[in-house]
A and B are shown apart, each in its own frame.
Chain A
Amino acid sequence: MAQIDNIQFNIRSSEPEWLTKFRKKSWDLFSKQKWADLDLEEWRYVEPQSLYENMKTSANGHLRRPHLSKNEHALLVTHANESEEKATFSNELPIQVSTLGDLNETDAKDVLSILNLPLTHHRQDVFGSLNLACFNQSTYISIEEGACIDAPLILDQIVSSPISLLVVHLKERSNLNLVERWSSGASDSNNIHHARVICLLETGSKLSFMSTQNVNEESQLLSHHHFFLHKDAQLEATYLPLGGALSRQEQLVTFLGEGAHAKTNGLVFGHKKQVFDFHSVQHHDVPRCESDLFFRNVVTDQSKSIFVGNVAIREGASGTVANQANKNLLLSAEAEAVTTPKLEIDTEDVVCGHGATVATLSETEIFYLQSRGLTREQAIKMIVGGFFSPILERLPAGLVRDEVLESVEQRIQEVSL
């Protein structure tokens, strides 16, 4: 048992040797890392020290294992303590859902190779290493070659399990619609969570990924998502953080093969003292890939939204098309919006642009709507709904879109203006 700063790193006796080894390796990396090594720019708007203190006190938790079930619309994954029995869902679908500890040797190898994919353009920070060493909830999802799962796969996650790791493997030409939903557990003593997601999209595969959360007001949710795209793979990622005191999300997209395409949408409607801190890197290393980031943020009360996007196009990534747009609407005097759309371009043959705006509501528009019989509040809510619509229109039709529409509508109604 190793111990640093009172964090206990338990070697889980129930886990296979390869996993224990991997945890040890990550622990060694973590224990060598220092606070001073944190990228100051990345942590410019959110103070990491107190998060880390919170994290330390909750790094240990019961091991939890995923359970797969099914209803008429979707496949559902929930997690229960590991002491409970292994899932017995008879699985006629070409999908596997399991905890890392339960994997057979072939799958274990597969997971290790995914976990060891290099973090291009980004150093793993202390939170990331801590996650790999101490995760107490792990989920491995793999879709077989050529398989297409029609029904969305919904992961219901609760923040009371402190550290989670999700590994998704889409084999060649497979197709998955994945929804990650965060909520607060019933008895919440723990309010901080670090979630790490690593997705490998093999040649020609297609992933629609949505991350949404509606955790309680005290919660702090940190997440780190890394997507690797092989040739012609397609990713459509959607971020819809609603609750929590702090929601910090890092997204990395690494293109490994030509012709891949990544589209990321995001929508924030912050109120009270909420902070939304979103960081993204689209890393283009190979030719002819496309990336597209599109965020619309609205903040009111004393809330704050931060958007930092980085499109990095390395030498040799010719024919890249990359776009980035972030628009912000400020509804109150004390709300704050930060937007930093970055570009790092190493090659000549690219089409690349970005735009950002920050503004408030137009009084003329409000006046017009009021003259048609709406109250001021109704008018503002209608304009906010209209502001979000370009994002909503980009979402693929189906259950995910319906759910987003409903959440956004509900959010607009519940925010008092």
Chain B
Amino acid sequence: MSKLKVMDLRKDYKYGFHDPEDYVYKSEKGLSEDVVRQISAQKDEPDWMLQQRLRALKIFREKPMPKWGNQDLLGQMDFDDIYYYIRPMEKQGKSWDEVPENIKKTFDRLGIPEAERKFLAGVTAQYESEVVYHSMREDLVEQGVIFLDMDSGLREHEEMVKKYFGSVIPARDNKFSALNTAVWSGGSFIYIPKGVNVEIPLQAYFRINAQNMGQFERTLIIADEGSSVHYIEGCTAPTYSSDSLHSAVVELIAMPTARIRYTTIQNWSNNVYNLVTKRAVAHANATVEWIDGNLGSKLTMKYPSIYLMGEGAHGEVLSIAMAGKGQHQDAGAKVIHSAPNTSSQIVSKSISKQGGRGTYRGLVKVDPEARDARVNVKCDALIIGDASRSDTYPAMEINNKTAKVEHEATVSKVEAEQLFYLQSRGLTEDEATTMIVNGFIAPFTKELPMEYAVELNRLIALEMEGSVG
């Protein structure tokens, strides 16, 4: 395969377009107390939230940058070169007609309204800092399901937000959770009442359009006793030469016997830093599943975690990461067993190609009170090309003798024999490799709704094109 083809690959990133910037409000570049106050004022927030933001800003300034992870890329970040708040339109749309033409065009090109009509129970579309479109099926509204953007959630359900906001991930947790708490805007607020099963997925779509934009959505999902919900998010951004920052905080609370599945397909352009804190609490007999797909971004650092706090709780993290040229996917999972009879499973699949770097970084902790915990961790990595890199950093801290913990990892390249076989059946080397990669990630793909699985396979085929040779 020619070098030229490889170089051109990123042009195929079909979400790399951007629209002219036309905004109702755009904060000045950089972070200051003033900016934080302005964000709060724009949203007309209660005072406690403003105070919380200001406290978090102070924490953000006190905390050092992480001393681990990709120090080169983290060192290049410039917090003063980022717009922390951009408001694209005056009022949120309830139908696509109300959304400004240029934004609507963007989402049309991303296929959002089409998807909504077909198979979604509700949709939120966030453009820069604000949710521009939001809708939910009538029957769910009647059952008491709340699916709002976070700002409306705060306005309409202040008590609940006050109770749970930051209860799973406090501002002090890490530098980026502090940053998010200080300047958060948008994201989803979801409450599923007792016993309600939302059978088809709720979706959020996050889009960064402006250059040097920082997107800090904040999502809080509460599934009350016996309820279930599946939430899907997708992310894209235009390709710019300067960097953008996406730093979300996602908190999930699964009450006894509730079930939450959270699916992410992250396909940010290669100039986005994706530094996200995601954490769930699972109470007795509840189940939380993180399905995490990382295709885009320059540097992703994301370790969805589950605290199993109630007896019989179960957690699963299933993730794939594909690191291409210039990308570092530093992803993983954390599970903390704090109650008896809890179980967890982590499956991680990473593909490094064309000099990309895939990292699995995980933690499994079994506390003394977590009798009879069951843990299973499996990390597989596929390396394509000699300059690519794959790391595995699994930590397991076991403090209970009744725990049963298993960890396994393998790293391999695409087998020459498999390639030869497929080529002998008439496939080109590219097609054969793509097929092997698709097979490698099949355990992930089959957990996605059909439409997403098809799209993912297509994306991978696109990514794999020209990767060989």
Contacts and interface: CB of A to CB of B under 8 A. Distances in A.
Given A343-B409, A348-B413, A338 B396 contact: yes
A338 B407 contact: no
A358 B391 contact: no
29 contacts: A40-B67, A315-B386, A328-B398, A331-B401, A333-B401, A334-B399, A337-B398, A338-B397, A339-B395, A340-B395, A341-B392, A343-B390, A343-B391, A343-B411, A345-B383, A345-B389, A347-B386, A348-B384, A348-B385, A349-B413, A350-B383, A351-B412, A353-B411, A354-B407, A355-B409, A356-B394, A359-B403, A360-B401, A360-B404
Contact of B407 (A341, A348, A351): A341
A41 interface: yes
B48 interface: no
Interface of B: 67-68, 368, 381, 383-413
Given A343-B381, A343-B390, 15 more contacts: A40-B68, A331-B401, A337-B397, A339-B396, A343-B409, A343-B411, A348-B383, A348-B384, A348-B386, A351-B412, A355-B407, A355-B409, A359-B404, A360-B402, A360-B404
A341 B409 contact: yes
Contacts of B68: 40-41
Given A330-B400, A340-B394, A342-B391, A357 B385 contact: no
A353 B394 CA distance: 13
Nearest to B384: A348
Contacts of A347: 383, 386
A72 interface: no
Contact of B398 (A336, A342, A344, A354): A336
Nearest to A36: B67
Most chain A CB inside 10 Å of its own CB: which residue of B67, B389, B394, B411: B411
A330 B366 CA distance: 12
Contacts of A349: 386, 413
A126 interface: no
B383 to A, nearest CB: 5
A254 B391 CA distance: 18
A85 B411 CA distance: 56
A354 B409 contact: yes
A346 interface: yes
A291 B130 CA distance: 53
A352 B411 contact: yes
Interface in A60-107: none
A358 B405 contact: yes
B204 to A, nearest CB: 34
B429 to A, nearest CB: 15
A332 interface: yes
A132 interface: no
B243 to A, nearest CB: 25
A161 interface: no
A361 to B, nearest CB: 8
Contacts of B410: 352-353
B391 A345 contact: yes
A335 interface: yes
A318 interface: yes
Contacts of B407: 339, 341, 354-357
A338 to B, nearest CB: 5
A315 B393 contact: no
Given A342-B394, A348-B384, A353 B401 contact: no
A46 to B, nearest CB: 14
A356 B385 CA distance: 28
- Size band of the A side of the interface? 35 or more
Contacts of A333: 368, 400-401
B326 to A, nearest CB: 16
A335 B401 contact: yes
A309 to B, nearest CB: 11
Given A340-B393, A341-B394, A343-B390, A358 B383 contact: no
Given A333-B401, A334-B368, A342 B386 contact: no
A343 B352 CA distance: 14
A19 to B, nearest CB: 36
B383 A342 contact: no
A350 B395 CA distance: 23
Contacts of B67: 40
B227 to A, nearest CB: 34
Interface string A346-388: 1111111111111110000000000000000000000000000
Contact of B409 (A316, A330, A353, A359): A353
Contacts of B381: 343, 345
B389 A346 contact: yes
Nearest to B357: A346
Q: Which 8 A-B pairs have the closest CB atoms?
A: A330-B401, A358-B405, A343-B392, A356-B407, A360-B401, A358-B398, A340-B395, A352-B411
Contacts of A352: 410-412
A347 B384 CA distance: 9
B398 A338 contact: yes
Nearest to A307: B396
A336 B391 contact: no
A15 B413 CA distance: 54
Contacts of A316: 386
Nearest to B395: A340
A41 B411 CA distance: 23
A353 B56 CA distance: 42
A97 to B, nearest CB: 41
Given A335-B401, A345-B383, A348-B388, A358 B396 contact: yes
Contacts of B409: 341, 343, 353-355
Interface in A159-217: none
Contacts of A359: 403-405
Contacts of A341: 392, 394, 407, 409
Nearest to A304: B399
